[in-house]
Amino acid sequence: MKPQPFAVTPDAYTRALNVVGEKITVLASNVVTQGYEVFLQQGEEGSGPPPHSHDWDESFYITRGTVEIGYDEQAITAVAGTFVHVPAGTVHYFRFGSGGGEMISVTSHDGRASQLFSRIDEEIAPGPPDVEKLAAVAQACGVRIAG
């Protein structure tokens, strides 16, 4: 079936998922686009995932605050208006800077980030995460934690 046009207005956003201190709103899952995924990610200062990789590309566009984004052997402090692309298989991480921040992220075709975020929201309690359980959920969704 051919994907259908759609619009998502702020009053129609789904509930933000709690993903280890980050609030992630699924704006478009790969089910509705039949390809890529789009997310609104909002984080408090210091929140963000550990270094990891997966089999899909991921791009970030910073809309508010600063976000430290590391990939390969480098890290940048991305300010509002910065776009960062991370190819599939690249070890990367990010940390929201002072005062927290916000960004839009987009995955490539066949990304499984919406599945990962939903499972973390359902299975990992708020607060300091059970690291072993978090790693198991990540691995089940095609994410490899580096280290």
Question: For 90-145, how does the pLDDT look when each residue is reduced to its tens digit (9 = 90+)?
Answer: 999 999 999 999 999 999 988 899 999 999 999 998 777 788 898 899 999 999 99
* 0.85 surpassed by pTM: yes
* Inter-axis angle of helices 131-140 and 113-123, nearest 10: 150
Question: For 53-66, how does the pLDDT look when each residue is reduced to its tens digit (9 = 90+)?
Answer: 999 999 999 999 99
Name the token pair of 85: 């692309």
Name the token pair of 55: 């089999």
- SS3 (DSSP) at 57: coil
Give the architecture (CATH level 2) of 10-145: Sandwich (2.60)
**What is the DSSP pairing of strand 58-71 with strand 74-79?**
antiparallel
| Domain residue spans of the chain | 10-145
State the burial class of residue 101 (Cβ atoms within 10 Å of its Cβ: 0-12, 13-18, 19+). buried
